[in-house]
Amino acid sequence: MTPRGRRSTPGNATSLLIPALALALATTAGGCASLPQVVVLEDPLSAEEHVALGVAYERRGELEPAAREYERALKKDRSSFRARLNLGNVRLAEKRYGDARAEYLKALELRLADPEATNNLAWAAILSGDEREEALRRLDAVLAARASAAPPEDGLTPVLLDTRGVLLGRLGRRAEAVAALAQAEDTCLAAGAAPAPAQAAGAPGPSAPCPASVLEEIRAHREELRSH
């Protein structure tokens, strides 16, 4: 996630220069001296660069500076889907589920029915207990769209099915949850489980069809459901 030094903001720079400006005005009052130039420092980084910094912080587990970088990215570009999604992920990790949900919904306004944002919104519902039925409807719509089109290459279908199974379990729909998790495992195995490649936090789905880590998580969720 990168150096942690604080950058000057326009507001900070101006406030530091105000006393000097006042003194200069006082000493030149009544004279013809020219006014001093006020230099306002601007953030030199692009939205994408702030996102990259946020990802670097997030990888190190430094959630607060990560969130700050994503917020700075959004000040530069309100339409940055990645900054919005990643900010939601940080809020989810902080257990600020309402804030996470709000960020995911804003991400979905930018990319309607995006599978990552829909999946993570479902996890916010699973963990908070709020709006689970709505999350399930969104998840089912995404899965239905994927089933009716050419097989996507993002490796996310087993993940979405796994999330659906966990969500159904939390809704008390055990038989459907069992079937969804079985389908998730079958889909993962059919795709060919492989070790997950290194990947940026919040980046698009893995290049491998179904990483071994995803298969392990699906099986852990199946075992958890069996034990309850």
Cα distance between residue 177 and residue 158, in whole Å: 14
Residue-by-residue pLDDT tens, the chain, 228 positions: 444 444 333 344 333 333 443 433 344 445 555 556 655 568 899 999 999 999 999 999 999 999 999 999 999 999 999 999 999 999 999 999 999 999 999 999 999 999 999 999 999 999 999 999 999 999 999 999 999 988 787 889 999 999 999 999 999 999 999 999 999 999 999 988 554 444 444 444 434 578 999 999 999 999 999 998
The answer to whether the beta carbons of residues 161 and 187 sit under 8 Å apart is: yes
Q: DSSP character for 210?
A: E
Count Cα atoms within 13 angstroms, Cβ side, for 164: 26
Of 96, 93, 91, the closest CA to residue 107 belongs to: 91
Q: What CA–CA distance (Å, rounded) separates 177 from 164? A: 7
| Type of residue at 27 | T
pLDDT digits (tens, 9 = 90+) for 159-190: 999 999 999 999 999 999 999 999 999 999 99
Interior/surface letters 113-127, b for 16+ CB within 10 angstroms, e for the rest: ebbbbbbbbbbbbbe
pTM over 0.85: no
